[in-house]
Chains A and B, each alone.
Chain A
């Protein structure tokens, strides 16, 4: 039975949610587990345990998901056409990376309506690094007519641990890609549901108010004393859970511990946006989060998901 074509309103060149659904379906058809967004504040799709933890250890793993990404510092009260403090990433993780990952990626672009006969697709060097996750890899920014539409990375290290095997990670910047597909200049102009007339819902309808409110919160009103406290608490709880979960050569509580690591990370991002972390302190906070991430990664290898027998 061949799957039914998406209705016209979900055409990825006209509908933001259509773009999202098309990518999900594309990667589902190629054997990916389609996960839902992780229910915590994270700065990027990589932080989702579906990538961060699952990319460690020997077990094959193929997944795709949308992840709302929070970057408090990037808020512009909804006034900048290209910068938001909350946006979507579409994340694909394939472990080990298949030999034809570049072709699969290009096929996904075709699936969302990019015609390779008229568009100039390029793989431009961009070595990816996430200092708070202790992760790095080699790969490219993928350009479509000079615009970066995705990030393509072969993970070499995650949580300070060598990846064996290596995962291929694709991250699509959905808003930017949609602007291109829909030919609009501002994210807020995006047609969200693909309908027209009074049924049309735009990105502005869905998110403008949130951008304004969160920008106020991120820059002006977040309670910094509470945030400092929360950072310390999350850090302490992460360590405590890692310790309590130790059971010889196994670990029994990695994921709750990792949640606390994510909390610490997001709290740090908020403090950073509030401008209360000096340049010198900044590095030490990044280091503290990285230490948590590394400890979680090491513990993950002692679980079934991490390949422990």
Chain B
């Protein structure tokens, strides 16, 4: 079976786009092949900084022949109908049509059209140019002479050549001939930009990979990653050090080289006074280098690992020296920031008003920064005021929430006041990703309480479904205050997330609140802070999404929130109730009771249509049951009268397991009732009484959850 080899050779593709681009290429080409009935055995795509490549193995030489029958008019039909039939089916005369006989309708024409399968190579020649022209790059560009015309080809960076061959292993593959805006497909590629820039003629995938390897190009990004990681570890080990692994950086670095060469550089030990996170951040962000640590102490070492794209003729001396210079320059900047941020601001005298407003102590560096942030009037959002105003709100809210989170109110308020104070620091200005963390460091240095300092870092958390949730009560209080202020604010100005648009990450903030509350067991009466019913239902929606993502049954959220259920603003209780209900519904008792409930509800619905809504409200007449009812009827009445108050009391006591057990107690009676009792008895009194019983059953379950909202 023949294989397809495709390579799109361009100028340097941004590292962050390579993997997805390779996936897109594979998917778009193979989907188009399959759409034409060309199934294949396997497909794999690759990316380097300068090329996307695709190998599709085991394609047929041509697609399957298609035989199509087209029904025509009756024999002897008017000429217009005959002509129309011939035209539509591509026949030149009726001689080419077949006549079929039908005992009822008589004889009619049929055209049998044999469509030979398309040659695969021809299909590829159509598919690939179309894929190239509509490729889903996140950002694309025009270039060169052709860009003078309006609709010139777009690619992520200038596209230089296209290699496309198709053929079986046993023969020389053919070039799939096509042309995309003047780039003619061929069987030529190019090696490493500096080591082997010459043209390389390629037959098929095997020799393509081997030739590239010889020309200092490792095609597979995962292999480049393995090489970098293995070499980095070896170099670290040789120095008695340990690599600080960083998957994101590894992925990026592998997208910056075709031939990875790992080298070790160093910097002065004095820089190790700077916080380790800062060293790592600057070396990572600016230089895309790995850092190392001493396995004995866990402290950073004054070494770094860079990944070059060159086997240098001097063994890498110049490359290492050059990178070292830049790293040193960057660390000098960081050291300067670290020092400056801990010293007094020059314009202290202008900050008194802000300090008074926020209750800050201007003798402390971080307080000065917060006062500065307020003084600068940095706008948080045009309609939501400045950062200073926001911090005031968060501090007040953190104080209010502190008892609920079990935190000391003073500490929570203090932490909130300093939570954004690192924003105007030099360090965070340079490395925004260190926000929070630097605030914590500076807070510790000026002697803040340990919990308050930690809260400065942790109040941003959790940043998503998999981020760690802080557990220190002070952190929880400030984190809740920060997120709730954001949500309430944006709801107040009607800037809610819509569809895929959520520029202020409000969904993430709501999820953060939910996780903070649920995972720390915080009983937060949301309605105290959230007055907007729409925002409350947004929380409910996010809770459903969270439960669904965790594989839980989100329909149960609706059930416990259903009418009649109390405490809908307490996310912790909702979650616990959902969990209890979910466990109950997995038991035999639960399944059976749900089935019984549904049956009761269906019967009631049907009968209420006849007798009117509320016709069966009120308690069943026990005397009537005693006089004329069945034993099962009585048993249900007794079970309900015992279980219902139990379930209600358990719910009131927030003992949801207890409420479920109470419900479980009525299950045998329900089963027996439906087994033996005919609800719609000819005697209208008996019928009404039985329907009342069912209504009582419905009411009993409603104490725990609205079973009517449970799916299935």
Residues of B within 8 A of A8 (CB): none
Q: Which of B420-455 contact A (CB under 8 A)?
A: none
A83: nearest chain-B partner, CB-CB: B333
Q: Tell whether A180 is near chain B: CB-to-CB under 8 Å.
A: yes
> Is B318 within 8 A of A97, CB to CB?
no
Contact of B319 among A120, A123, A138 (CB under 8 A): A120
Q: Which of A108-135 contact B (CB under 8 A)?
A: 116-125, 127
User: Which of A81, A123, A137, A147 has the largest count of B CB atoms less than 10 A from its CB?
Assistant: A123
Cβ of A57 to closest chain B Cβ, rounded Å: 10
Taken residue by residue from 163 to 195, chain B's Cβ proximity to chain A (1 for < 8 Å, 0 otherwise) reads as 000000000000000000000000000000010
Q: State whether A144 and B141 are in contact (beta carbons under 8 Å apart), knowing that A279-B376, A280-B382 are contacts in the complex.
A: no
User: Please, how many angstroms separate the alpha-carbon atoms of A164 and B16 in the complex?
Assistant: 28
User: Please, how many angstroms separate the alpha-carbon atoms of A165 and B139 in the complex?
Assistant: 18
> Is B321 within 8 A of A97, CB to CB?
no
Residues of B within 8 A of A82 (CB): 329
Q: State whether A118 and B12 are in contact (beta carbons under 8 Å apart), knowing that A127-B139, A164-B148 are contacts in the complex.
A: no
> Is A180 within 8 A of B15, CB to CB?
no
Taken residue by residue from 155 to 187, chain A's Cβ proximity to chain B (1 for < 8 Å, 0 otherwise) reads as 010000001111010000000000010000100
Residues of A within 8 A of B15 (CB): 124-125
Contact of A122 among B148, B156, B256, B378 (CB under 8 A): B256
> Is A118 within 8 A of B313, CB to CB?
yes
User: Please, how many angstroms separate the alpha-carbon atoms of A124 and B257 in the complex?
Assistant: 10
Q: Tell whether A99 is near chain B: CB-to-CB under 8 Å.
A: yes
> Is A124 within 8 A of B306, CB to CB?
no
Cβ of A153 to closest chain B Cβ, rounded Å: 10
User: Please, how many angstroms separate the alpha-carbon atoms of A248 and B15 in the complex?
Assistant: 49
Cβ of B475 to closest chain A Cβ, rounded Å: 29
> Is B160 within 8 A of A118, CB to CB?
no
> Is B139 within 8 A of A138, CB to CB?
yes
A283: nearest chain-B partner, CB-CB: B379
Q: Tell whether A145 is near chain B: CB-to-CB under 8 Å.
A: yes
Q: Tell whether B406 is near chain A: CB-to-CB under 8 Å.
A: no
User: Please, how many angstroms separate the alpha-carbon atoms of A121 and B289 in the complex?
Assistant: 15
Contact of B318 among A137, A145, A154, A278 (CB under 8 A): A145
Q: Which of B308-340 contact A (CB under 8 A)?
A: 308-310, 312-314, 317-319, 321-323, 325-327, 329, 332
Cβ of B41 to closest chain A Cβ, rounded Å: 35
Q: State whether A164 and B149 are in contact (beta carbons under 8 Å apart), knowing that A123-B12, A138-B141, A147-B325 are contacts in the complex.
A: yes
User: Please, how many angstroms separate the alpha-carbon atoms of A278 and B147 in the complex?
Assistant: 40
B377: nearest chain-A partner, CB-CB: A278
Cβ of B120 to closest chain A Cβ, rounded Å: 32
Q: Tell whether A58 is near chain B: CB-to-CB under 8 Å.
A: yes
Residues of B within 8 A of A99 (CB): 144, 158, 160
Q: State whether A97 and B144 are in contact (beta carbons under 8 Å apart), knowing that A118-B319, A119-B319, A122-B309 are contacts in the complex.
A: yes
Residues of B within 8 A of A96 (CB): 143-145, 147-148
Cβ of A82 to closest chain B Cβ, rounded Å: 6
Q: State whether A165 and B147 are in contact (beta carbons under 8 Å apart), knowing that A121-B194, A146-B326, A154-B158 are contacts in the complex.
A: yes
Contact of B150 among A144, A164, A185, A279 (CB under 8 A): A164
Q: Tell whether A102 is near chain B: CB-to-CB under 8 Å.
A: yes
A144: nearest chain-B partner, CB-CB: B322
Residues of A within 8 A of B332 (CB): 81
Contact of A58 among B148, B318, B319 (CB under 8 A): B148
Cβ of A104 to closest chain B Cβ, rounded Å: 13
Q: Tell whether A65 is near chain B: CB-to-CB under 8 Å.
A: no
Q: Tell whether B142 is near chain A: CB-to-CB under 8 Å.
A: yes
User: Please, how many angstroms separate the alpha-carbon atoms of A193 and B539 in the complex?
Assistant: 68
Q: Tell whether A140 is near chain B: CB-to-CB under 8 Å.
A: yes
Contact of B323 among A102, A146, A154 (CB under 8 A): A146
Q: Tell whether B11 is near chain A: CB-to-CB under 8 Å.
A: yes
Q: Tell whether B508 is near chain A: CB-to-CB under 8 Å.
A: no
User: Please, how many angstroms separate the alpha-carbon atoms of A154 and B155 in the complex?
Assistant: 12
Q: Which of B352-381 contact A (CB under 8 A)?
A: 376-379
Taken residue by residue from 67 to 100, chain A's Cβ proximity to chain B (1 for < 8 Å, 0 otherwise) reads as 0000000000000011000000000000011110
> Is A146 within 8 A of B287, CB to CB?
yes
Q: State whether A154 and B313 are in contact (beta carbons under 8 Å apart), knowing that A82-B329, A123-B12 are contacts in the complex.
A: no
Cβ of B479 to closest chain A Cβ, rounded Å: 26
Q: Which of B130-147 contact A (CB under 8 A)?
A: 139, 141-147
Q: Which of B297-314 contact A (CB under 8 A)?
A: 306, 308-310, 312-314
Residues of A within 8 A of B144 (CB): 96-99, 165-166
Residues of A within 8 A of B634 (CB): none
Residues of B within 8 A of A163 (CB): 142, 147
> Is A280 within 8 A of B145, CB to CB?
no
Given A138-B157, A146-B289, A165-B144, 17 extra CB contacts under 8 A:
A81-B329, A96-B144, A118-B313, A118-B317, A120-B308, A120-B312, A122-B256, A123-B49, A124-B12, A125-B14, A127-B139, A138-B156, A165-B145, A166-B144, A166-B147, A180-B322, A280-B379
Interface residues of B (CB under 8 A from A): 11-12, 14-16, 49, 139, 141-150, 156-158, 160, 194, 256-257, 287-289, 306, 308-310, 312-314, 317-319, 321-323, 325-327, 329, 332, 376-379, 382
A-B pairs with the 10 shortest C-beta distances?
Answer: A145-B322, A125-B14, A146-B323, A165-B148, A123-B12, A166-B147, A120-B308, A165-B147, A117-B313, A138-B141
Interface residues of A (CB under 8 A from B): 58, 81-82, 96-99, 102, 116-125, 127, 137-140, 144-147, 154, 156, 163-166, 168, 180, 185, 278-280
What are 23 A-B pairs with beta-carbon distances under 8 A? Answer: A81-B329, A96-B143, A96-B144, A97-B158, A99-B160, A118-B312, A119-B310, A119-B318, A120-B310, A124-B256, A125-B12, A138-B141, A139-B157, A145-B326, A146-B289, A146-B322, A156-B142, A163-B147, A165-B142, A165-B144, A166-B141, A180-B322, A185-B329
